[in-house]
Amino acid sequence: MLNYIEKILRARVYDVAEETPLDYAPTLSERVNNRVYLKREDLQPVFSFKLRGAYNKIASLTPEQTANGVIAASAGNHAQGVALAAKRLGIKALIVMPKTTPEIKVKSVKARGAKAVLHGDSYDDAYAHAMELAAEKGMTFIHPYDDPDVIAGQGTVAMEILRQYNGDIQAIFVPVGGGGLIAGIAAYVKFVRPEIKVIAVEPDDADCLNQALRAGERVVLAQVGLFADGVAVKQIGAEPFRIARQWVDEVVTVGTDEICAAIKDIFDDTRSVAEPAGALAVAGLKKYAERHGLQQQTLIAIDSGANINFDRLRYVAERTQVGEHREILLAVAIPELPGSFLKFCRALGKRNITEFNYRYFDPAMAQVFVGISSSGAEADQRQLVEHLAVEGFAVTDMTGNELAKDHIRYMVGGHAPYDVKERIYSLQFPERPGALLKFLMALGSQWNISLFHYRNHGAAFGKVLIGLQLGDAESVHFEQCLNALQLVYRRETDNPAYRLFAGGASA
Which pLDDT belongs to residue 434? 58
- The answer to whether residues 38 and 270 touch, using CB atoms and an 8 Å cutoff, is yes
Q: What is the mean pLDDT of residues 310-339?
A: 81
- Whether the per-residue pLDDT at 431 is higher than 70: the answer is no
Least confident piece of the model among 124-128, 285-289, 431-435:
431-435
- The answer to whether residues 235 and 146 touch, using CB atoms and an 8 Å cutoff, is no
Q: What are the distances in angstroms from CA 428 to CA 48, 122, 133?
A: 27, 12, 29
If one compares 94 and 232, the residue with the highest pLDDT of the two is 94
Q: pLDDT confidence of 159, banded at 50, 70, 90? A: very high
Burial class (CB in 10 A: 0-12, 13-18, 19+), 414: middle
- Whether the per-residue pLDDT at 390 is higher than 60: the answer is yes
- Whether the per-residue pLDDT at 424 is higher than 80: the answer is yes
Q: pLDDT confidence of 315, banded at 50, 70, 90? A: confident
Which pLDDT belongs to residue 485? 83
CATH 3.10.129.10 holds for 2-48+148-320:
no
Q: Taking Cα atoms as reference points, which of 205, 237, 210 lies closest to residue 222?
A: 205
- Using N-to-C axis directions, what is the helix angle for 435-443 and 472-484, rounded to 10°? 140
Catalytic residues: 50, 304
If one compares 455 and 337, the residue with the highest pLDDT of the two is 337
Which pLDDT belongs to residue 75? 74
Which residue intervals of the chain bear CATH 3.40.50.1100? 2-48+148-320, 53-141
Q: For the domain made up of 409-501, give the CATH fold.
A: Biosynthetic Threonine Deaminase; domain 3 (3.40.1020)
DSSP 56: H
- Whether the per-residue pLDDT at 456 is higher than 60: the answer is no
- Whether the per-residue pLDDT at 507 is higher than 70: the answer is no
CB neighbours of residue 194 within 10 Å: 10
Which residue intervals of the chain bear CATH 3.40.1020.10? 409-501
Q: What is the mean pLDDT of residues 144-170?
A: 97
Burial class (CB in 10 A: 0-12, 13-18, 19+), 347: middle
Backbone angles phi, psi at 78, to 5 degrees: -65, -40
Which pLDDT belongs to residue 495? 92
Strand-pairing partners, residue 299, are 36, 171
Q: pLDDT confidence of 360, banded at 50, 70, 90? A: low
Q: What is the mean pLDDT of residues 124-143?
A: 93
Handedness of CA 5, 41, 245, 250 (dihedral sign): positive
Which pLDDT belongs to residue 412? 60
Cα angle value 34/39/45 (rounded, 5°): 160
Which pLDDT belongs to residue 320? 83
Determine the Cα–Cα distance for residues 428 and 365; give it in Å rounded to an integer: 34
Give 375-423 as a DSSP string.
Answer: -S-HHHHHHHHHHHHHTT-EEEE-TT-HHHHHTGGGTTT---SS---EE
For 43-71, how does the pLDDT look when each residue is reduced to its tens digit (9 = 90+)? 999 999 999 999 999 999 999 999 999 99
For 6-45, how does the pLDDT look when each residue is reduced to its tens digit (9 = 90+)? 999 999 999 999 999 999 999 999 999 999 999 999 999 9
Which pLDDT belongs to residue 410? 75
If one compares 69 and 339, the residue with the highest pLDDT of the two is 69
Q: Is 433 helix (H, G, I), strand (E, B) or coil?
A: coil
Residues ≥6 apart with Cβ < 8 Å to 100: 75, 121, 122, 430, 431, 432, 460, 461
Domain 325-400, CATH: 3.30.70.260
Q: pLDDT confidence of 359, banded at 50, 70, 90? A: low
Q: Chain-wide mean pLDDT for the chain?
A: 88
CATH 3.40.50.1100 holds for 53-141:
yes
CB neighbours of residue 481 within 10 Å: 16
Determine which helix (DSSP H) or strand (DSSP E) holds 107, and give its type and residue range: helix 103-111
Strands (DSSP E) found in 260-399: 298-303, 327-335, 353-357, 365-373, 394-397
Q: What is the mean pLDDT of residues 65-82?
A: 92
Q: pLDDT confidence of 316, banded at 50, 70, 90? A: confident
- The answer to whether residues 242 and 142 touch, using CB atoms and an 8 Å cutoff, is no
Q: What is the mean pLDDT of residues 388-404?
A: 88
If one compares 434 and 481, the residue with the highest pLDDT of the two is 481
